[in-house]
Structure 1
Amino acid sequence: MKHIPFLIAITGTLLFCLYNLFSGAYQNKAVSPSWRADSVPPSAQSCKTCHEKYVDRFQGAPHSRTLLSGTDPLVLSRFGDKSYANEHEKAEFRVHGGRLHYHHSNYPEPVQVDWVFGSGSHAMTPVSLISNAQGKDQLVQLRTSWYPNNELGPTLGQNTNADSLSGVERIGKLSDHAETMNCFGCHITNIVPTESRLTEDTVQPSVSCDRCHPGSVKHLQSQESGNESHGQWGLDWSKMTAMESVNRCGGCHRRADEMNPEDLTTQETDLPRLASVGLTLSPCFHPEARPGSAEYLTCTTCHDPHAPASKIALDYVQTCRKCHSENSPVSVTCSNKPDSNDCLDCHMPKVEVAPHLKFTDHWIRVRND
């Protein structure tokens, strides 16, 4: 009888955990990107002495241009003197003094474009920064973005008629300072210690080596001193399970455990944007698989993070056929088109999530549509 109170307590704790698990309380695990290094990380060029082929390939990779200044030549060429209009508004980008400015019919004065988010593989979205009452930067994500067809269009999620909005939100979505820091956190290598301003002097833009290989400072120092060990990395990708690897990418590309279960359904039209989430929902995905095993499938199985993504479908089909072939002990062959190379068209089609904007759906599955 003396064990009954203990058993009741344990049972109560288990029921509470199960309730929270299935009610979604443990699903919204916001993952803040690790964007502030202990010391300023070296540039990619500093790594070139030993890793020349990776650094050279990386120059064309989307991660090398996730954040550009409003004065960047690529930004000026893609946005300068271009306009977009619909029945409710007209937006135009003009270059003044070597910097991009945004003119909007629903706002009394032009605003300076401070930064542009996005590599251009899917879109490039300009942002302006304003100071709040405490003197800290807040991000205004402008209503008009650039798309790969070289046309401007509405920024994703900003189709609301600007007439129904007020103040600065007439020209874009306003984020508070904390959210602003997290937004920048996924598009940079490092921010020098600051709690207020995000200037070209305080931001190391785009995602460089240290974001995926933390510890690069010690590694470089060790190499320069002739230490045979070349220093210890802060992250060893070769020892990660499939889920650990995908979640590392998902820190910025989203993780399934950040989301509610009701959002992880085929009816959720936004999921194709979240490749790392879709992959973990796939029957092909084995969370505990380890590098070297036949079941190991992660983002880097198909995508070289140091290079632009291949545009050749057959490159990806060959990866599919490593498992989905007659000789594979891991998976079955396709029953519908066993000799076809149309794997992607059926199981990973491109989905339009907004005008001008398509994403490959990484939730690999048999579809009924």
Structure 2
Amino acid sequence: MTEQNFIPKPYGKHIESGVVAWESPSNIALIKYWGKKKDQIPENPSISFTLNSCKTITKVSFFKKNDVVNFEFDVFLDGKKKVDFKPKIQTFFERVEDYLPFLRNYKFKIETENTFPHSSGIASSASGMSALALCLMSIERDLLTPLEVTDEYFNQKASFLARLGSGSACRSIEGDIIVWGETKQIEGSSDLFGIKYPYKVHDNFKDYQDTILLVDKGEKQVSSTVGHNLMHNHPYAKNRFQQAHENFEKLKPILESGDLKAFIALVESEALTLHAMMMTSMPYFILMKPKTLEIINKIWKFRQDTGSNISFTLDAGANVHVLYPKNESFEVLEFIKNELVVYCQNGHYICDQIGMGAKKIN
């Protein structure tokens, strides 16, 4: 599969206007990717749980226009026009135009909303860009004959397009466990799009829970884009990329056997390695907050005292994703309410779990 596979044949249908809508979830990486090559290609493979409740709902209205010189679109977040979002969408349209040649033929109204705080490290770009990519794919599907767009092709191309908007967005199209990045450990894996994890997964990881502790709901001081770029010439980058490949080799038997202790060790190590890369780049930066560290230490103590299979992971931000099997939900949620909520901004946290991917809204 190459990029050429996603260039469509001439459109056989004519549409004057329409409306499409999708909801697409965020995802949380277990093996992280940090650092990318040209055209949003990852330096190392990653694997993620697709979330269920943390999602972006996007509606795209489109209207035929005569002028095909420029892209025309307006972006609204929670009903308010967001001019500052336009440069990112402009860049996205420029990147995907060869694969969606109808983009200059229409004016678009993009209306979007999140079920979680924007730009706070819960991968709003992943859910947002995947939802937009799915809306654009729905438009293209209507412009082509039905046999030209199978469900498999639709999902692959939506993931491919989403990646060009935000790398991790390619992992939000489907669920429940998604791999992105070519690795010999996973048959069918690709740098171009995410794929469903193709091997056996133990029941221990079915309905896995993720309670997100909102330590800081503000915008990150350093964007993920800037952070990825700092991996160029990073003194530890080569070793980190090799480590990610080695961790894939370790994760396969863990997912098959249901070994929760080994899962915890690998996932927490990956989270801390991600932030270690940030702290050792030049310039260096820290996205964790003091309360992030307090929560981690509390989780470690609770696990030691109770034997719980609670663990944590982090995205590129201060918030903590508390991971645990569903059968431990009562004990873990009591622990969160009694000991961890105090570290959350305004006491806010989100109870989520593994989900099965994006859904079209009729």
Give me the TM-score of the superposition, normalised by structure 1: 0.30
Q: Which has the higher contact order (CA 8 A, sep 6+)?
A: 2
Relative to its length, the structure with more strand (as a share) is: 2
Relative to its length, the structure with more helix (as a share) is: 2
**Looking at CA atoms only, which structure, 1 or 2, has the larger radius of gyration?**
1
Give me the TM-score of the superposition, normalised by structure 2: 0.30
